[in-house]
Every structure is written in C-alpha cells, then in structure tokens.
Amino acid sequence: MADSISHLDAYRVAAREQGPGFAATLWGSPETQSLRFDIIDNICGGLADTRVLDLGCGDGALYQWLGERGTLLAAYLGIDALDEQVRRAREVHAGATFEHLDISMASTLPSGFDWVVISGTLNTMDDATTLHVLDLAWDAAAVGLVFNFLSDRPGLKWQSRPLGPARRHHLPKLMAWALERTPLVACRQDYLDGHDATLIMHRSDATTLK
C-alpha cells in the first residue's frame, strides 16, 4: 500500500482551508457529482431497500442524493478518512450512520451490506492502494460492488486538461481485476465524454439481504 497516506493530503488541505462539505470532496461541481450518483444508482438497478456501505462518503452526499429522490434504504453506513467530514455528515444527516476510518489502512471492512459503493474515493490513490481498497470492498459486498474512477481512456476534451491532485486509472487493468473475481462485470464510460468510468461487479450467487 505504497503512498497510502499522501492521497489524503489534498482533501485535508481543502477541509482546513474551506471547511468540511462539498469543497473538501474535490469534486468538480455538484452537477457532475449528481450525474455520477445517477449512473451508480442506475447501473445497480436501483439501491432502494438495500443495505449500502458508502466508502469515502465525504459529508454524506450520496445519502442526501438518494433521500432527495425518495429512495429508502434498508441500511446505510458511510465511512470517510477525514474526521471533519464525518462530523459534518453526522450533523446534517441525523438518520444515517457515519464512521471515521482510513480504508487504505484497514484490513477488513464492516460486513452485512448488499452493495458497497465507491464514488470519487480512488481518484488520488496509487495503484497498490486502489487495489487494496477494492479487494476489501469486494470482500465486504454481499451482492455487489460499484465504483467509479478517472479513466485513462478519456475523450478529446479531457486529454490535455490538468487533473490537480487526482490521477487516471488504467481501465483495462481494473476490468481485468474485476473479471478475475466474477464474470458478472459491466462498465459505463458513456458520460462526461469518457472523463471517468463506472464499474459494477455482481456476485454470481448473491441474494439481496433483507
């Protein structure tokens, strides 16, 4: 897990300088964040009535997004490495559970969840840390894992644009990692002109927990 701490530095600076909340997530805009959540919800076939583990939850934006659309979950747990974000999430979303944990340093994750969701969390991680986190996430998922990342196959408009602290991940490598664990894999990169990709992995023998 080389460089497993420095991937948080930019988030810590943003939280310190701008306070916890959206700015500390380093997302480009609320609109693109919402689009990514929409892709996740759709590719899963809808998260309603499922148990969701949200890794890198920030200030609870996914939980809020689902609530604004009337999506009721069977259970929700948000985990984030920034204590400021966790405190903010607990203040804003009294009906949800949030925990402070650096998943890049974890050896296991909480179990008992249908879906594990990772949105934006991998953007500043190196390859080794990314694969470690994905291994943990897959082990924790009873039904499936869905995650997005900045793709190394972007459209022309993105190819020369600086990414700041973020980096692009090798799409074929992550597809190969997923296919080594399950044949039930799908990918979407037909949004934001290929700027990022969303992968979903289903367990072949999964039954949604109720």
Tell me the pLDDT tens digit for each residue of 136-178.
Answer: 999 999 999 999 999 999 998 888 888 878 899 999 999 999 9
Q: What are phi and psi of 164, to 5 degrees?
A: 70, -135
* Sole residue written with tokens 């196959």: 153
- Using a 10 angstrom Cβ sphere, with 0-12 exposed, 13-18 middle and 19 or more buried, the burial of residue 10 is middle
Q: Report how far apart, in Å, the C-alpha atoms of 126 and of each of 8, 74, 104, 166, 169 are.
A: 11, 33, 11, 10, 9
Residue 84's pLDDT is: 93
Bridge-based pairing state of the strands 141-150 and 196-202:
antiparallel
Residue 3's pLDDT is: 43
For residue 210, pLDDT beyond 60: no
Long-range contacts for 11-18 (Cβ within 8 Å, ≥24 apart)? Answer: 11/81, 11/82, 11/124, 12/82, 15/82, 15/84, 15/85
Q: Which CATH superfamily hosts domain 6-202?
A: Vaccinia Virus protein VP39 (3.40.50.150)
Q: What is the CA radius of gyration of the chain?
A: 16
Tell me the pLDDT tens digit for each residue of 114-134.
Answer: 999 999 999 999 999 999 999
Confidence of residue 206 (pLDDT cuts 50, 70, 90): low
Q: How far apart are CA 51 and CA 66, in angstroms?
A: 13
Q: Which residues pair with 200 in a beta bridge?
A: 146, 186
Residue 29's pLDDT is: 85
Q: Which of 12-26, 85-99, 145-159 has the lowest mean pLDDT?
A: 12-26
For residue 76, give the nearest of 91, 64, 92 by alpha carbon: 64
Confidence of residue 69 (pLDDT cuts 50, 70, 90): very high
**Helix H or strand E segment including 51:** strand 51-55
Tell me the pLDDT tens digit for each residue of 28-67.
Answer: 788 999 999 999 999 999 999 999 999 999 999 999 999 9
